[in-house]
Amino acid sequence: MIRVSSSFGHLLRLSTFGESHGPAVGAILDGVPAGLAIDRSEIQADLDRRRPGQSRLVTQRAEADQVEILSGVFEGHTTGTPIAMVVTNTDHRPGAYDHLRDVYRPSHADFTYDAKYGRRDHRGGGRSSARETIGRVAAGAIARKLLSAAAGIDVLGWVSSVHTINAVVDPETVTTEAIEAHPTRCPDPTTADRMASAIENARRNGNSLGGVVTVTARNMPTGLGEPIFDRLEADLAKAMLSLPASKGFEIGSGFAGTQMLGSEHNDPFQPGPEAGSVVTTSNNSGGVQGGISNGADVTCRVAFKPTATISIEQKTVTTSVEPTLLVAKGRHDPCVLPRAVAPVEAMMMLVLADHWLRQRATAAL
């Protein structure tokens, strides 16, 4: 028998559950130290940034995505036991997918799940749906509180490109207020308006767009990362590429670094502001050297493909391998980018929190 893997992390261990059009989705987060102050509203704030129906640019599925904490938190503080959280699906319409029971949707997981497991959930993709990321975002909100309280680390992400429209944003000065000021979650107002127009045009034409989310972690400590195979950037890459619709990952200079000379790319060291501290004068490394954080901001970019579900007629085959034509129905995002910011932040925070706990457990005497 083959099982569907749904767990992530080492000392901070996340397991998610639920299907897109089942009764509920959620997460179990194990390894959070006891005594961390956490309120349901802090988790809900991040879920509200991921939920459908929040603007005209995203799917109009009417889900409030209200989280309920089932265990692991007592009198406003974590108890050290597994934290279970659940979100009820209130606007699921499994009957809307009956026409897909025997049809493979192009660029979805329909065919591959069938090939691997011998069965699939045709109701919006089941576990392969982006609705699974609700559990990640809920857990990420707890990791956010842990990172802030324990190490002062601050993580924020934004939409840096949609299709061929690119924003110029300074990762060191961008603010949450600027990011959340526009429904695209692009902090450059002029570029954000152009992105919104492009997304609306794609929706009208029955098409979809992809793009890039940039995420940065500020106030990073040195020493996070476990060489050789658990390098910090390797775990971040795995985390980001586990997100639905993600297709690429860069850290620091990324692929652009291949067009630089070594003398241009190297990050020179100099004494830091505190006695005995060291800083770099540039950050082409993206805050990671040798797989270990060097104290500079960790900045990554995650590429997302155009949404696979479009209302333009497409060629495909049935489960009995008969050619057919598909016109998708239902409520779908013409562009995943505005809602992808919260899951990208969540995965970075879960990786950093896990490595912070690992560093605390194995730090040299």
At 94 the pLDDT is 63
At 3 the pLDDT is 62
Task: Give the count of beta carbons closer than 10 Å to the beta carbon of residue 304.
Answer: 25
At 91 the pLDDT is 74
At 256 the pLDDT is 97
At 364 the pLDDT is 60
| CB contact set of 363 (below 8 Å; sequence gap of 6+) | 223
List the chain residues with pLDDT less than 50: none
Q: Is 62:52 a contact under the CB 8 Å cutoff? A: yes
Rounded Cα distance between 83 and 81, Å, is: 6
Nearest to 265 by CA among 287, 292, 283, 290: 283
At 233 the pLDDT is 98
The answer to whether the bond into 228 is cis (omega within 30° of 0) is yes
Buried b / exposed e over 108-125, threshold 16 CB at 10 Å, is bbbbebeeeeeebbbbbb
Residue 227 structure tokens: 């060489």
At 332 the pLDDT is 80
Nearest to 23 by CA among 86, 84, 82, 71: 86
At 255 the pLDDT is 97
At 49 the pLDDT is 95
Rounded Cα distance between 103 and 110, Å, is: 8
Q: Is 16:40 a contact under the CB 8 Å cutoff? A: no
Question: DSSP label at 306?
Answer: P
Residue with tokens 């061929």: 164
Q: Which long-range contacts (CB under 8 A, 24 or more apart) does 318-325 make?
A: 318/102, 318/103, 318/104, 319/102, 319/103, 319/104, 319/114, 320/102, 324/103
At 346 the pLDDT is 98
At 4 the pLDDT is 63
Rounded Cα distance between 196 and 188, Å, is: 12
Rounded Cα distance between 216 and 172, Å, is: 8
Q: In CATH, what number does 7-252+287-362 get?
A: 3.60.150.10
